Structures are given as C-alpha cells and as structure tokens.
Chain A
Amino acid sequence: MGGYGTQIVNLFAATLLLIAFAMLAQRRIVALIHLFALQGLALVGSTVTVAWVTGQHHLYYSAAITFALKVVILPYILHRLIRRLNVKWDIETLLNIPTMMLVGIVLVVFAFNLAIPISEFSTSMARGTLGIALACVLLSFLMMITRSKAVPQVIGFLAMENGLFFAATSATYGMPMVVELGIALDVLVGMVILGVFLFQIREQFDSLDIRHLESLRDD
C-alpha cells in the first residue's frame, strides 16, 4: 500500500510543480486564479493521501482547512475582487517567457540540490517531495518579482504559502494543529487586508500597476 501511496503523492507533487510553472507563464488574471484553486486542490489531494496511508488523523482536518481556505474562500475573494476592481479580463504583457522558464528550471535544480541532504533524514513517505516544495516556493517568488500588476503579485504570494504548506506535509506530516490554525488565520486576514489595500491603491493611482509604487527611494 505504501508503494502506491508514495506514487500518488509524487504524482500530486509533480502536478503542483507543473502548476507553479503554468502560473509563471500565465498572463490572464482570471486564469491565474483558476490555476491557484487547482494548486490548492492538488495540495488537498496529497494531504488526504498522506493521511489515508499513514493513518495520521489530524491531517484530515488540515486537509479540510486547506480545502475551505485555498480552494473555496481565497479564490472566491479573488474572483470578487477582480470583478469589483474591473480587472477580470486584464492581460499582462510578460516579456521573455522562455527565459523565465529557463530561470525556473535553474531554480528547481537548485532547490533539489538544497533538499537532498535534508530529505535523507526524512522518515516520511513523501521524502522525495521536499525538493519540489522548495522549488514551488522559489518559483512563486520568481513570479512575484517578475509581475508588475498588484493582483498577480498577491496570487504569487499565496502560491508561495501553498509551497510552504506542501513542505510541511511532505517533510513532517504537517505542523501541530494550533500552528496550522494560526497560519490559516494569518493568511485569511492578510488576504482581506490586501483586498482593502488594492482598492486604496486603485483609488489613489487609478490603476493597479505597481510600477507607480516606485517613487520612494534614496537618491
């Protein structure tokens, strides 16, 4: 059974990585939100698999929280946000998608190398996936750096949290429940505050292009 379980978790991990790459190249905001929800779903899938195979019951709860937060609530808030901000069909001009893909591949190699010495110590069934988790974090980071619109940056930020959550389940069967609840609360409150913030930015600059936000510097 463990063999199949590992295979399934690896499949979900590969899906996560694939989605992270897809997000890097996706130019349309609404499609980006779909990808984010899909990534959340893959996360739920892998968590449930680990929970089922290992019999760690608290992982079911954390999968339920993840499902509620990352597949339902956050995408819902994001959809509402882009509708009310009127950016639903916005298309961002991304330069050099092939270059970004190459940089992404380099990051994945780097992440795997960084994770090798650590995953050796893992007794978890999903030990090979720590590198993938770290790669997802770094890819989301890259996405945040390369985007110039506020909403995609926010999605990149949330995707980074997905990668971290995956790291927690793949390396250690999840964090203690109280910590996971706290993190979920922080993410939710953070999202609400970011929403408020996006409206303030739009009101001030008439646009959500964060290139307007580059006047404060030391000259």
Chain B
Amino acid sequence: MDVIVLLLAIPLAGGAILWTWGERESAPEVNSAFSLVTLVVACWLTAMVIEGGPILGFYEQFFVDSLNVFLITLTAFVGFTTSLFSRPYMRTERDRGRMTGPRLRLYHSMYQVFTFTMLLALTTNNMGILWVAMEAATLATVLLVSVYRTAASLEAAWKYFILCGVGIAQALFGTILLYFAAERVLGREGNALLWTHLDLVKGELQPAIMSLAFVFLLVGYGTKVGLVPLHNWLPDAHAEGPTPISAVLSGLLLNVALYSIVRCKVLADGALGSHFAGNMMMGFGLLSVVVAAFFLSRQRDIKRMFAYSSIEHMGLMTFAFGMGGPIANFAALLHMTVHSLVKSAIFFAVGHAVQKAGTQVMEDIRGLLKVSPRVGWGLMIGTLAILGMPPFGVFASEFLILTTAMREHAWATPILLLALGVAFAAIFARVQPMVFGDTGHPRLTHQPALTPVFIHLGFAFMLGLWIPPYLAAWYEQAARLLR
C-alpha cells in the first residue's frame, strides 16, 4: 500500500517543486531525477507484485494486478528515458529562443504532473477516479501542446482540448451508467465503482445498461486512444507540441487510454455474456488500421506521419483485444510494450533530426547519416522496427495477431495485411531519403541524447528474439485475466 502512495507522491511532489524551480539551469536534471526515483519505486512495486500477487491498497482505492503492473513499469521507464532525451532537446530549444524561462517551468512541472495522472489512472481501482485522471492528463498536456504559441500549435491545442473534452464527457456518461448498473447489485456505498468489486459481480450487472455504458466508454476513451473516426486531434497535437511531449503522448497516454477500455471490456463481457464488446473493438480497430495506413502516404510532416503510425498501431491493438482469447491478448500486450518503446525511440531520433534540419517537412530533411550517423541510424532502425521487420518485437506481436486473425476471423486478414503493406511502403519511402542522401545541415549546440533511443530499440530487439520467462508468464497471466 505504502509503495503505491509513494509512487504517486513522487511525481506530484516533482510537479510542485519544478513549478518553483523549473526555469533554472539544473531543472532538466531535477526532472530526470524525479523520473528516475519514480522508476525505482515502480520496479519495487513490480517486484512485490511478482512475489506476492495482486495488491490492494488504501481502503481498496488502489489495485495493482498482473495487467496493470507491467504498464506501470513501462510508463515509469518511458517517462524516465524521455526526461533524459528532453535535457539536450529543451536546451537547444532555449538557445533558439523557442523556449523561455516561464515556458520551461511550465514544461518541467507539467511533465511530472502528467506522469502522476498516468500512474493514477493505472493504479486506481475506482472507475470514477480513472475518468478524473484521464481528464487531468489532457489538462496537464494541453498547455504543453501550445507552448510554442504559434498559430498552428494553438489550433492543435484547442482541438485537443475540445475534442478530448467532448470525448471524455461521453466516457463520464458511460461511467455514470456503469455506476447505475453497479448500484443495483452492490448497493449505494462508495465501493460500487471499485473495479475489484465490479469484477466479482459482473455476471449480475444488467446487460441492457452495460451494453450502452460500454458504447459510451469505448467512444469516450477511444477518443483518447485515437481510434478513427475520433482521431482528429492526435496528429495535430503530436506535430505541433515539443517532441518529448509527442513521445509521451504516443508512448504512454494512448496505452493508458486503451488500458481503460480493456478494463471496461472485462466488465462488459462478464455482464453481457456475448461478444458484443469485442466486436465493437474489432470494428473500431480495423477501421483505424486501414484509414491511418492510407493517410500515412499523404503526410509531409515527419511528426504527423509517425502520429498516424501510432493510430495504426493502436488500431491493431484494439483489434487484437477485441478478438480476445489468450493468444490475441498476449500479442496485444506485447504489442503495447514494443510499440511504446519503439515509437518513443523514433520520436527521440525525430526530435534531434528536426532540430538539425530546422524543419519538420520531410522533403527538407536529408542526409542524416552524414551529419550525425547516430541520429540517422536511430531513425532508420526505429523505422524498420515499427514497420514490423524481424527480429524486432513488433514483428513477433504482429505475427501473433495476424495468425490469430487468420484462424478466428479470416475475413479480416487480407484487410490487415493490405493496410500493413501500405503503411510499410509509405513510411519506408519517406524515411530512406531522409537518412541517406546529401545535406548541408549545421551541427547542434548540445550533444543529442541518443542513449535512450538505443536502449529502447535494444529492448524491442530483445523482445523479438527472447521474452524473459517471468515477463512471458506475466503477459500470460494478464491475458488469462482478460479472456
């Protein structure tokens, strides 16, 4: 119990301290230090869960089981590496006059608050608090999307705020309906929204109410996942905000939003006894994969392109969770992990590449390999990994998803294969000339932080070849939990 409270208290304290401290020269290091301590506590929590099984804490308000504990570690890990990446990135931005003292203060403080909201959403046992945390995550990041105060960034932030706000309002209605269904079974006590209690009585929840509640919850949290046709905010917010924010949006926020849907799906499945929830998720997922793949080839902005790639991958995971069954769930959880690692690594490399070239337009970024080989290789390897080339982990998870689809929903396989093929052609054709080719870009003022890129890609590489036994056991346990 104490560990969970500690896990949440550290980033919250970090946010408060950096609010007063955030413009100093050492602020990026302080930011990283807080993220590192959060990671250490997350690992400690993980060790406890591996040893002793699920933990309930603080009057049952927090709950950590095999499903969310690996997401907690992943969130803390990506949060830490992104803070490492943002050190040279933000210093370069400040040298170029794009970040000023107050803006850096806002950035560092909100970075920690965002981490707090993500961890709160993951650890909470209360479906209402889950909603509050998801909304707070939007609030923490919206001012970061508009931090450059350009016309485009303001527009992106406004869209992000309004679309996610409206979306999340649907999720609140879904939560109210869920409470309505639960109250009839569990009584009017405060614990009728606790997931563990709901899970015990899910078979008795009124199916008519639960199906409507799930529709609202899926649409609401689906907006945050970036499911088509609710995805309009996502490419803008990724493209116009600072790159570390793009990395955490893609690597963390989308995952946590999908996690919320999966938690709701478990309840809806138990109540309905049919495949209704799964079918809805499969539909939304498939649509997202296809639409995003075809939008990919029309992008000119590098961050927008990878944002669409995130929509595609989130669609694939939603599809896999929708199919259900131990293998598809296993694959979806693995895909969540590797996508989060690889996509944030790509954004790190893209961030440095964009700073070097001084533009996000892909046609103007050329010859990264010549100016700085490590950025070039990072981007190239990351791209190959995200496109599902063996031996990276994305290949393994996509392979599992596709084979399960072939066996259970054969009609979907050609559509998925086509979309993946289109995505491959679109992204590879754009990245190849950016990495190779000639250039005259100047050098950066601060040494780029590429260690996180290669650590992430290294993990993705390892997960493609060999999944450590405890991690595999863990995924299997979580996959069984979901059914």
Contacts and interface: CB of A to CB of B under 8 A. Distances in A.
Given A167-B176, A185-B132, A117 B146 contact: no
B450 interface: no
B467 interface: no
Contacts of B190: 176-178
B206 interface: yes
Contacts of A171: 176-177, 180
B158 A201 contact: yes
User: In which size bucket is the chain B interface?
Assistant: 35 or more
B299 interface: yes
Nearest to A161: B169
Interface string B125-136: 010110110011
Interface in B135-184: 135-136, 139, 142-143, 146, 149-152, 154-159, 161-162, 165-166, 169, 172-173, 175-177, 179-180, 183-184
A123 B187 CA distance: 12
B426 to A, nearest CB: 13
Given A160-B166, A161-B169, A193-B139, A176 B157 contact: no
B209 interface: yes
Most buried by B among A167, A176, A196: A176
Contacts of B142: 193, 197
B200 interface: no
Contact of B126 (A123, A179, A190, A213): A179
A121 B158 contact: no
A94 interface: no
Given A182-B128, A190-B139, A117 B208 contact: yes
B292 to A, nearest CB: 11
Contact of B158 (A114, A123, A213): A213
Nearest to A183: B132
Nearest to A123: B184
B146 A179 contact: no
Interface residues of A, number: 50
A216 B152 contact: yes
A168 interface: yes
Given A172-B176, A213-B159, A121 B208 contact: yes
Interface in A170-219: 171-173, 175-179, 182-183, 185-186, 189-190, 193-194, 196-197, 200-201, 203-205, 210, 212-216, 218-219
Contacts of A196: 143
A182 B155 CA distance: 28
A186 B166 CA distance: 14
Interface string A62-98: 0000000000000000000000000000000000000
A157 B129 contact: no
A153 interface: yes
A112 interface: no
Contacts of B128: 175-176, 178-179, 182-183
Contacts of A173: 188
B212 interface: yes
A118 interface: yes
Contacts of A185: 132
A134 B175 CA distance: 14
Contacts of B177: 118, 171
**A contact face: mostly helix, strand, loop, or mixed:** helix
B23 interface: no
Given A117-B208, A118-B208, A200-B146, A175 B166 contact: no
Interface string B267-291: 0000000000000000000000000
Interface string A4-30: 000000000000000000000000000
A216 B129 contact: no
A164 interface: yes
Contacts of A178: 61, 126, 128-129, 190
B208 A164 contact: no
Contacts of B162: 144, 153, 157
Given A167-B173, A204-B154, A172 B180 contact: yes
A117 B210 CA distance: 12
A172 B193 CA distance: 12
Contacts of B139: 186, 189-190, 193
Contact of A164 (B161, B173, B235, B236): B173
Interface string A137-174: 10001001000001001000100110010011001110
A144 B152 contact: no
Interface string B222-239: 000000000000011001
Contacts of A144: 162, 166
A118 B126 contact: no
B407 interface: no
Nearest to A122: B180
Contacts of B212: 114, 118
B192 interface: yes
B161 A194 contact: yes
B179 A215 contact: no
Nearest to A203: B149
21 contacts: A121-B206, A123-B184, A150-B158, A164-B169, A175-B128, A175-B175, A176-B193, A179-B193, A182-B128, A189-B136, A193-B143, A197-B143, A197-B157, A197-B158, A200-B146, A204-B150, A204-B154, A215-B151, A216-B236, A218-B295, A218-B304
For the complex of A and B, list the 4 residue pairs with the smallest distance between their C-beta atoms, beginning with the closest: A179-B128, A182-B132, A213-B155, A176-B190
